[in-house]
Amino acid sequence: MARNTLYDELAVGQSASLERPVTANDLWVFAHASGNVNPLVLPSFDADGDGKSDAVAPPLWAGALVSAVLGTRLPGPGTRYVSQNFRFPERARIGDTVTASVTVKAKLGDARVRFDTKVTTADGRVVAEGEAEVFAPTTRIELSDDELPPLTLARHQHIERLMKACEPLEPLATAVVCPEDDASLAGALLGFKHHLIRPILIGNLDKVRAVAKSLGASLDGLELIEAPGAIAAAEKAVQLAHQGVAQAIMKGKLHTDELLKPIVRREGGLRGVRRISHVFVMDVPGLPELLLVTDAAINIAPTLEEKVDIVQNAIFLAQALGYAQPKVGVLSAVEVVNPAMPSTLDAAILSKMAERGQITGGIVDGPLAMDNALSLKAARTKGITSLVAGRANVLMVPNIEAGNMLAKELAFVAHAEGPGLVVGAKVPIMLTSRADDDSTRLASCAVAVLEAHFRKTGTSAVPATPARE
């Protein structure tokens, strides 16, 4: 509850303040609200090319904090600005914590009050200072602490977190199969530039060099291997993985079945102890954490036995991404078992298998509908008591049609970033799509690096994700 201070109650020397961190979201929202798109104040500004933001907080963003103190703390609700002057000796940056404070300097009569105003960082730097003159309220106003409507920014801070976690890790030697078009070669070179992968380019080298020339990119320092066709290139990648030369595989300009054919071969392939499956790692604006979706790319209509492997693979990847005990929601159209809907039977069996230790490392529950898998409110409205409902980190879909539609709806309607990875093989496999942009391809590299690190060490390089209440 915000309660104002009336003019007659104010005294010289009285003060109030508020403290808050400077976040990238603050700068993006201010840019939208003000129209100020000066690169210096946008989080994407990187002056020295080190991959880290060099942006500064706009001075009037700091000034707006002074307005917030006057309007909500002292004098509080009902205050009207007359004038404000500022000087801005220093700049705040993303990650700083700043304190905005106001102090009554003089009461001028006719409800006018002059304040000293200041914004400082935690280490004492003065970001803004000046004087404000306001009309203080003369009647009592109390406001409830109702939250503002939430804002959703189409940016991908969860993927940014994964990228940061990769910084101390070694690049992954990656066999890039047929990087013979702009998207696939540019994606590999971008991963190389960001020290995520060390590409080994396999394919028709005349085409690869021609693409590099069209991109204005250098292939200096990269290993190039000639292969007479897509299948031969994929087989060479598998061979390099067996030899330990390649620690990962990335799809280029070839069909998925051409890439996977030598990988899933029983003799000489890269099959692991479980069935190979695919996981999308979705950074959905508005969700508090990453959302994994499986399987939307490989297994068409998986049997119950195959679904056990698909769930276990997804749990393994979620652990690699910082979820100590991932929560898996097994999806269907409804949240009750219906013998006429086989997906609900499979979901119930998978849940019981997890309870009995036949699926390990995570909590599995289903059947769950999409709404009550992600929304606690929906789960409670329907009376669902579950450790997973409303808190799912992983969504297990009944078949490839449902998974593909879900993943694409999240990407193209909800503006999610959706890197994907094939898991269950002896090395991580980046199954990029022709529709993927550079950022998604780069994120796929990061996910592969983190999975490989977890596979090698048994520990996640990503700080643990706090469990949702």
pLDDT band, very low/low/confident/very high, at 173 (cuts 50, 70, 90): very high
pLDDT in tens, 285-305: 888 899 999 999 999 999 999
Cβ proximity of 418 and 163 under 8 Å: no
Mean pLDDT over residues 197-215, rounded?
Answer: 95
Cβ proximity of 105 and 115 under 8 Å: yes
pLDDT in tens, 83-127: 999 999 999 999 999 999 999 999 999 999 999 999 999 999 999
| All structural domains of the chain with their residue ranges | 2-143, 157-326+393-457
| CATH architecture of structural domain 157-326+393-457 | 3-Layer(aba) Sandwich (3.40)
Q: What pLDDT does 47 receive?
A: 81
Full-model pTM: 0.81
Query: Two tokens at 109?
Result: 């009569």
Do the domains spanning 2-143 and 157-326+393-457 agree at the CATH topology level? no
Q: What pLDDT does 468 receive?
A: 54
Backbone angles phi, psi at 91, to 5 degrees: -125, 140
Query: How far is residue 256's CA from residue 392's CA, in Å, rounded to a whole number?
Result: 29
Closest CA to 32 of 40, 23, 42: 42
75 cis-preceded (ω within 30 degrees of 0): yes
Superfamily, domain 2-143: Hotdog Thioesterase (3.10.129.10)
Percent of the chain with pLDDT over 70: 97
Cβ proximity of 43 and 55 under 8 Å: yes
